[in-house]
Amino acid sequence: MSLLLVLSMLGCLMASSPLSAQPTLVSQPVWTNLPGAEYPRVHSDLRVTFRLQAPNAQKVELVPGGNDNGLGAGPFEMTKDEKGFWTVTTPSAVPGFHYYWFSVDGLAVNDPNTYTFFGWNKECSGIDIPDPQGDFYQVKDVPHGDLRSRWYYSKTTQSWRHIIVYTPPDYDANPKGRYPVLYLQHGSGESERSWAEQGRVNFILDNLIAAKKARPMIVVLENGMVASKPGAAPGAGGRRNEAFAEVVIHDLIPYIDANFRTLPDRMNRAIAGLSMGAGQALQIGLSNLDKFAYIGAFSGGGIRNFDLTTSYNGVFRDPAAFNKRVRVLWFGAGSAEAARMTAVKESVEAMNKAGIKAVWFESPGTSHEWQTWRRSLNDFAPRLFPR
């Protein structure tokens, strides 16, 4: 990232910071902080100072969520002052959203100063480091769509399920309008809230639609951590993904088409997801080409050792027919997670070589984190539903 861009962004930080009279200390709380919480604070060079008051603790560490977390590979030891405040300042962080928590004498504890976000299978602290190129996911003075909480009954899981549905800004004012639909999935350990909260999906779509870069569309967020059978705890892998596919095909799509003003055909229906959700999107999309014409895999495995005749039950076998049927097949990852994604990238190259049109996107400098996925959506959504 350009230092000039960082510095130009910091003009704003300096103007709004209570410490602006002391430019060497310029730092600010961010939107992921609770109202009034002065810590964590992001410095002008994107170092971050974290603080926790725990006078009786013997050892406190800052723990970024995972090794490719943009806060760096922790844990970071914190030091205690005479008032019992433990602090640490990290190296310069990568812009974007990062999960973290504290380890207090070995106990994982959220930062009481931030909102929590569903990740790592729990309510988890998060910090959103400003990105000088992050204008595309800010709330701006453009028409805003809704994020609608809805409950619907799934015969597959035999339970009421919570979904969040983005409806575009003109949905209410245009009561005869019908819209294409993107089904958009989170990663493992996350939930239907994740694209709405960490992902800022509504702001990304609002801004793309206002700039006429994307068509007004409905976006549906479901929870892909489905239990392998009704009543069971959410399981990992295998049967979970099959159960989720059944939810999407048998319950969710019919519900959405019956309850929202959709364009209910394959040319107006897309599916995408990140990480675990990328695998689900590929599996569900490629197995149901009568329902989807656009498929996006953000930072997802799922496709390795591409073979034209056998991969995904031979769906790619006739490249010309495939290209006609699947209008967008999109793969992407952060450049900093490229090593993990080599097999995917090689498969995409093999696809292209074999005549399958597949897009490869790289998010500069980011890893297996939300900044990669915000940028992925910002690249993917404009390619959908050409008029």
Give residues in contact with a second copy (CB under 8 A).
16, 34-36, 54-57, 104-110, 112, 114-116, 121-123, 139, 141, 144, 146-153, 160, 172, 175, 196, 202, 225, 227, 231, 233-234, 260-261
- The least CB distance from residue 218 to a second copy, in Å, is 12
Residue number, 114 or 299, with CB nearest to a second copy: 114
Nearest-5° Cα angle at 252, 231 to 207:
125
Question: In whole angstroms, what is the distance from residue 28 CA to residue 18 CA?
Answer: 8
Residue number, 206 or 337, with CB nearest to a second copy: 206
- The least CB distance from residue 229 to a second copy, in Å, is 13
CB count within 10 Å of CB 337 equals: 18
Residue number, 112 or 364, with CB nearest to a second copy: 112
Sheet with 79-80: list strands edge to edge: 27-28, 41-43, 48-53, 85-89, 79-80
- The least CB distance from residue 207 to a second copy, in Å, is 12
What's the Cα-to-Cα distance from 72 to each of 45, 64, 341, rounded to whole Å?
Answer: 14, 7, 20
- Residue 3: partners with Cβ closer than 8 Å, 6 or more residues away: none
End-to-end CA distance of the chain: 35
- The least CB distance from residue 308 to a second copy, in Å, is 39
Residue number, 122 or 353, with CB nearest to a second copy: 122
- The least CB distance from residue 201 to a second copy, in Å, is 11
Residue number, 160 or 238, with CB nearest to a second copy: 160
- The least CB distance from residue 116 to a second copy, in Å, is 5
**Among residues 147, 298, 268, 138, which one has the least CA distance to residue 210?**
138
Residue number, 15 or 320, with CB nearest to a second copy: 15
Residue number, 15 or 339, with CB nearest to a second copy: 15
- Residue 186: partners with Cβ closer than 8 Å, 6 or more residues away: 192, 194, 195, 199, 221, 223, 224, 273, 274, 276, 277
Q: With H, G, I as helix, E, B as strand and everything else as coil, classify residue 119.
A: strand
Nearest-5° Cα angle at 94, 88 to 100:
50
